[in-house]
Chains A and B, each alone.
Chain A
Amino acid sequence: MSGRLHTIVALVENRPGVLNKIASKWRQRGFNIESLTVGHSEVPGLSRMTFTVDGAAHDIEQVAKQLYKVIEVVKITDVTEESIVARELALVKVATTKENRSAVIEVVDVFRAKVVDVATDSVVVEATGTEEKIDALVAMLTPYGLKEIVRTGRVAMVRGGMSTVAAPEQNGAYHKYRSAGEGKPKVGSLI
């Protein structure tokens, strides 16, 4: 599957099993999801997902059509060709000594990242930006010794006044009934 990295934004109902259903559609066509972020949207009950997936445009379009078949998927758009703001957040734990800590902080400052935790032998750096910026920061910090990296994967939004993937006018409920109830065993969250 050759092609380029596509950024896909989906508006989905926040209900048990939804992520499983969506992942299943990608898996069936043999795609590997490079990154995936999920969080609440501006509409209660709806979550917005951002995927990045590597593949040819035609194949991606085919899967997007399949994703529409998931009843809980309200809207889905490939924003790869749009003018977008795309960011990810990374936390990087770097090994430091008394001697080189200030050098590390200097690198962090250049990238407009932040040190959010300091210990005697390490610092935790928080950075947001494009994948390229994060990659560059990580490359600069590598010589000091990387203890741990966690990256959120891409979130994206179309520039300007338009909504990336707007919730459609509410004709009908998303689902009339509730998801897993309070005080009862929650059977799976979104995952």
Chain B
Amino acid sequence: MTKIKGAEIIMEALRKEGVEIIFGYPGGANLPMYDALKKYPDIKHVLVRHEQSAAHAADAYARVSGKAGVCWATSGPGATNLVTGIANAWMDSVPLVCITGQVVSWLLGRDGFQEADITGITIPITKHNVLVLEVEDIAPAIAEAFHIATTGRPGPVLVDIPRDVQQQLCEFEYPDSVELAGYQPKVSGHPQQVKKAAQFIAESEKPLILAGHGVVIARAAEELRELAEKADIPVITTLLGIGGMPGSHELNMGMPGMHGMYWNNIGIQEADLILGIGMRFDDRVTGALKDFAPNAKIVHIDVDPAEIGKNVKTHVPIVGDVKTVLQQLIPHVTRARHDAWRAWFRDMRAKHPSIAIPETDKILPQYVIKKIYDLSGPDAYYATGVGQHQMWAAQFFWGDNPYSFITSGGLGTMGFEVPAAIGVQFARPHNTVWAFCGDGGFQMTMQELALCTEYELPIKFAIINNHYLGMVRQWQDEFYAGNKQSVRMFQPDFVKVAEAMGLTGIRVTEKNMVESSIEAALRHPGAVVLDFEVEDIENCYPMMPPGVSLSDTIDQPPVKQPEMVR
């Protein structure tokens, strides 16, 4: 066998793993990897403009494609720039393999130029990380990285490789399979627990499913629908669970939590059984834990045993892959009807519409978002940033295409939307991809617009521009006596920014322009930035104020917000 360079071993390993695309940025410590790229034309490299975007794009690519996303960067600042993206993937359980160049091994720990202890830094935000010091260890380390990133509860794995190790010669041998004594994720649930869950469902009169990202990650939307239909259980989807249940399905109740549907928050308090499926009882969903679902028994299905009992006391814990466990569970579940319970929801929805859009001549942000959903057809994909626009995007998403709503949930990373949309478009080159952008978040990553021109990505960016960091402004108004600090900022001319980057820009200032400009953007073959100048002090409701119980959710604001003083 011929010997090849460590950097080529990395490429061979990526090829073995079926990697088609790498998001990355070059620098001194990963130059051998860039040198090797030429020999592997089947693996596309996308040059981002900041390493954070490489991680976010790979993250979004992974969520849509169901494969591990791959990003790489050089040592030091390249690696530390990945950190936010890695943390984002960690919080949302996204399979990500990050390969960082490191300073030459004899300089390690000596503050070499562009040295950062990236394995040390990323311990709390990676599922696993490793510093590879021998060229023969590269192939097994990468095999393990993919195995760990994609199995069990997925997550990011970082492999750090000094530049000299990338240049050493070694034969390429790739393990057929990886077995690790300390890592054996459970797939099927305990049969007794599964039966017990079925029994709890049979005894329940007001059952509720809280479906989370686990349903989406496990690609278990079919099984979830089957379970819900068979036992006639309303399904609430968490922010990251959106798409796990078809939006148009009569059993889909939408989102719960801080900005969730009022009927869901009250419904959780009424329920006598909660089935948490692939979700983690996050504080944004539960509100004050001591008052959460006081009447309900809890069945918790999750692949990660550490999630069981972490936040709520569980009556029936089932550890296993969501898809497998649901397949086990469905045959044991008796067909049932819960007419009274369903009528309760219908009644609540009629009394508290939660997402009714007020009639006005102004451009309301939620109006823009709803119009985009209505006009973009069933096959479009959506990436969002973080803040008010994200919550509205989540509230008004009632589409049927599973896995088409991509958002930063756990970490809440502003600026995610732009690189995420890029990752989505690479994964789905023939579908319409929208990025819902906040005017704040957009400015964090808008340098990546250049990629739309360079790689011919026809992404449609909708800036929900209220000239504020809207969610922060809403909190300042509600909880800090209207003391608006550092939430209004100078903005560049986004239309000119778009044009400078080779995109088309449209500014929308009148309500009657909204529909026509969305249609124009959809017709346009290239990328478009739509700057929607929306009503600036619109607040996002329903809202459960932080720290209170779900029962205290405010459906609509009690009084109209006072006009702000400019």
Contacts and interface: CB of A to CB of B under 8 A. Distances in A.
Tell me, yes or no, whether A binds B.
yes
Interface of A: 12-13, 16-17, 20-21, 24, 28, 58, 61-62, 65-66, 68-75, 167-168, 170-178, 180-181, 184-185, 187-188
A187 to B, nearest CB: 5
A177 B134 contact: yes
B127 interface: yes
A175 B123 contact: no
Interface in B96-120: 105-106, 108-109, 119-120
A21 B121 CA distance: 11
Interface residues of B, number: 35
A185 B178 CA distance: 28
A92 B105 CA distance: 41
A187 B119 CA distance: 12
Interface string B494-521: 0000000000000000000000000000
Interface of B: 105-106, 108-109, 119-120, 123-124, 127-134, 136-137, 140-141, 144, 148, 175, 178-183, 304-306, 308-310
A179 B120 CA distance: 16
B124 A24 contact: yes
A21, A177, A184 interface centre (most CB from chain B within 10 Å): A177
Given A62-B310, A71-B128, A173 B123 contact: no
Given A174-B181, A177-B132, 13 more contacts: A17-B123, A17-B129, A20-B123, A69-B304, A71-B127, A71-B180, A167-B181, A168-B181, A172-B180, A177-B134, A178-B134, A180-B133, A185-B106
A69 B184 CA distance: 10
Nearest to B304: A69
B173 to A, nearest CB: 10
Given A17-B119, A21-B123, A69-B127, A74 B141 contact: no
B120 A175 contact: no
Contacts of A70: 182
Given A62-B310, A74-B181, A171-B181, A17 B148 contact: no
Given A20-B120, A71-B180, A71-B182, A181 B306 contact: no
A158 B140 CA distance: 36
B6 to A, nearest CB: 13
A73 B305 contact: no
Contacts of B127: 69, 71
A38 to B, nearest CB: 16
Contacts of B308: 65
B301 to A, nearest CB: 16
Nearest to B153: A69
A84 B553 CA distance: 51
Contacts of B120: 17, 20
A167 B181 CA distance: 9
Contacts of B182: 12-13, 70-75, 174
Contacts of B132: 177
A171 B183 CA distance: 11
B135 to A, nearest CB: 10
Contacts of B131: 16-17, 187
A177 B141 contact: yes
5 contacts: A17-B120, A70-B182, A176-B140, A176-B178, A187-B108
A147 to B, nearest CB: 34
Contacts of B148: 71
Contacts of A62: 306, 309-310
A175 B105 CA distance: 21
B105 A184 contact: yes
Contacts of A168: 181
B133 A173 contact: no
Given A69-B127, A172-B181, A177-B140, A187 B306 contact: no
B123 A172 contact: no
A16 to B, nearest CB: 7
A153 B142 CA distance: 38
Contact of A171 (B140, B175, B179): B179
A172 B179 contact: yes
A185 B179 contact: no
B181 to A, nearest CB: 5
Q: Which 3 interchain pairs have the tightest Cβ spacing? A: A172-B179, A177-B137, A65-B306
Contacts of A16: 131
A178 B179 contact: no
A66 to B, nearest CB: 5
Contact of A69 (B105, B141, B175, B306): B306
A3 to B, nearest CB: 17
Nearest to B107: A185
Nearest to B132: A177
A170 B106 contact: no
A173 B179 contact: yes
A61 to B, nearest CB: 8
Contacts of A185: 105-106, 108-109
Given A71-B180, A74-B181, A185-B105, A176 B175 contact: yes
